[in-house]
Amino acid sequence: MNRVILGFAVLVLCSAAFSAGTPVSSNDSKQAGEAQPLEKVLDSMDAAAEKFRSAEMNFDADQYESAVNVHTPQNGVMYIRKTGSSIEMAADIKNPNQYVLFTHNKVQLYQPAIDQLTVYDAGKNQEAVQSFLVLGFGKRGHDLSQQFEVKYAGSEKIGAIETGKLELVPKSPRVRGMFERIVLWIDLARGISVQQQFFEPASGNYRLVKYSGIRLNVKIRDDVFRLKTTSRTKVVTP
């Protein structure tokens, strides 16, 4: 299982430790001396969240292992759909072939090669889990401070896209033990993430994810959010 998917699953188990802090207000940000650029990024995310219904995108990921200086590439397609107040997420991952699904209050990982389904129950922490799984897509920028210390990390062009960088440090010590910080590159025009980087603590390891071909508010087939298991699939519930 790749490290970030495992991280998502572990977050299901420890998400009760997420902080329920108070969202940053405009006045608070201004006092921090970085109000204008930070507010511009957060406002763009707020505006996108108001209109967000769905997203479909390609992704290319690079898992870097510092100890052995190895880069492991991975790619696939990710789908996000908002249904009422709930969020569904599916990721069709290549090399190796895996399918990750968050729906009905569960994170499920299906590995066709070994015909095994691993199921993690989000329980009463569904809202915290879904907000982490779809980080940068459909979440209000000003709500990030409920779970993270948020800093503006400058501007950067990703291809032809002007982005603002946000550095997120998890407030929960347990989550911080998994990811010491996360960087989001937010497309200022669309208010969504076009690149993300997850840093593991004290190791030099990271996972860099780049998104392309992003299609917003399109109809996504229902079968995308169903696992294609078999009658012999082994089900594991850690």
What pLDDT, on the 0 to 100 scale, is given for residue 51?
A: 93
Q: Strands (DSSP E) along 37-115, which ranges?
A: 54-65, 70-83, 86-93, 98-103, 106-111
Cα gap 130→133, rounded to integer Å: 5
Alpha helices in 63-125 (DSSP H): none
Q: Write out residues in the chain with pLDDT < 70, as ranges.
A: 1-35, 124-131, 133
Q: Strands (DSSP E) along the chain, which ranges?
A: 54-65, 70-83, 86-93, 98-103, 106-111, 116-121, 148-158, 161-170, 181-187, 192-199, 206-216, 234-236
3-state secondary structure of 68: helix
Reported pTM: 0.83
pLDDT in tens, 169-217: 989 887 888 889 999 999 999 999 999 999 999 999 999 999 999 999 9
Contacts of 226 (CB under 8 A, 6+ apart): none
From edge to edge, which strands make up the β-sheet containing 54-65? 148-158, 161-170, 181-187, 192-199, 206-216, 54-65, 70-83, 86-93, 98-103, 106-111, 116-121, 234-236
What pLDDT, on the 0 to 100 scale, is given for residue 30?
A: 45
The ranges assigned to domains in the chain are 3-236
CB 45 within 8 A of CB 191: yes
CATH number of the 3-236 domain = 2.50.20.10
